[in-house]
């Protein structure tokens, strides 16, 4: 059921489209949102239109991972962290090879607060999701986010942990990440970047 092509109206212009299409043939906007980059610069009214179209599609296809991932990205950008987390977890149920879904779910678990303020079970789940993302696809930004967690939660509380935030940051540098990715990460998190990473 998760791989079925689902017909829906284009969230932007209303044309009839389906989940097999990357973009709408009329307005050239994305039909399915698979990365945060797709929604990063979208204004809230457009994000709400997309979320509404995806909610309608989920009414008939609640287990469709593409639509769950798309609505999760919209909710994440709208800072509706609990809704986004539920949709990411639903998208991951049948698709364990989507590293970005695990990474984004980890971000949702912070719920827009600094890692320092999170409870330990939250941090443990975040580390679990980041580790899964890294095992699937070891991107530099994933290691960078791990470095942030290791610094802001563990190092600031003087907890010993392996890898240290310096180790995770060195790995992030080795794998490579862009400043744009870092800016997006802190924009999603809603916190300021620490000086040490």
Q: Residue 78: enclosing H or E segment and its boundaries?
A: none
Residues 144, 192 within the same domain? yes
Does 153 lie in the same domain as 164? yes
What is the dihedral sign for C-alpha 165, 171, 174, 177? negative
Same domain flag for 62 and 118: no
Is 6 found in the same domain as 59? yes
| CA gap 134, 143 in Å, rounded | 7
Domain end (from 95, 115, 147): 95
CA 80 distance to own-chain centroid: 12
Structural domain total, the chain: 2
pLDDT over threshold 80, residue 94: no
* Last residue of one domain, picked from the residues 63, 95, 127: 95
Q: What is the pLDDT of residue 2?
A: 46
Helix axes 99-110, 65-77, angle to 10 degrees: 40
Do 60 and 104 lie in a common domain? Answer: no
Q: What is the pLDDT of residues 35-88, one digit of tens each?
A: 888 888 899 999 999 999 999 999 998 988 899 999 999 999 999 999 999 999
137 and 117, same structural domain? Answer: yes
Classify the C-alpha dihedral 162-180-121-70 as positive or negative.
negative
pTM here is 0.91
On whether both 49 and 32 belong to a single domain, the answer is yes
23: phi then psi, degrees, rounded to nearest 5:
-135, 160
Q: Is residue 12 domain-shared with residue 88, that is, in the same domain? A: yes
**Domain shared by 65 and 114, yes or no:** no
- Give the end of a domain, one of 47, 74, 95: 95
pLDDT digits (tens, 9 = 90+) for 152-179: 999 999 999 999 999 999 999 999 999 9
Determine the structural domain holding residue 145 and report its residue range.
97-197
17-21, 124-128, 161-165 — which is least confidently predicted? Answer: 17-21
CATH number of the domain bearing residue 7: 1.25.40.10
- The verdict on 88 and 151 lying in the same domain is no
My answer on whether 62 and 23 are in the same domain is yes
The Cα 92–Cα 96 span in angstroms is 6
Instruction: Mark whether 63 and 49 lie in a shared domain.
Output: yes
């Amino acid at each position: 059921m998760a791989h079925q092509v689902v017909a829906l109206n284009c969230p932007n212009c209303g044309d009839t489209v389906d989940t097999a299409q990357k973009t709408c043939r009329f307005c050239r906007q994305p039909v399915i949102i698979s990365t945060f980059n797709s929604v990063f610069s979208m204004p809230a009214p457009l994000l709400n239109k997309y979320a509404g179209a995806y909610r309608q599609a989920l009414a008939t296809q609640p287990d469709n991972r593409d639509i769950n991932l798309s609505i999760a990205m919209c909710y994440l950008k709208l800072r509706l962290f609990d809704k986004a987390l539920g949709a990411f977890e639903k998208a991951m149920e049948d698709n364990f090879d989507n590293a970005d879904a695990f990474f984004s779910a980890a971000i949702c678990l912070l719920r827009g607060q600094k890692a320092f303020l999170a409870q330990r079970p939250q941090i443990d789940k975040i580390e679990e999701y980041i580790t899964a993302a890294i095992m699937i696809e070891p991107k530099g930004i994933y290691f960078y986010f791990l470095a942030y967690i290791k610094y802001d939660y563990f190092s600031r509380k003087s907890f010993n942990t392996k890898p240290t935030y310096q180790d995770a940051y060195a790995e992030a540098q080795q794998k490579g990440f862009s400043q744009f990715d870092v800016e997006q990460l802190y924009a999603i998190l809603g916190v300021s970047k620490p000086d040490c990473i």
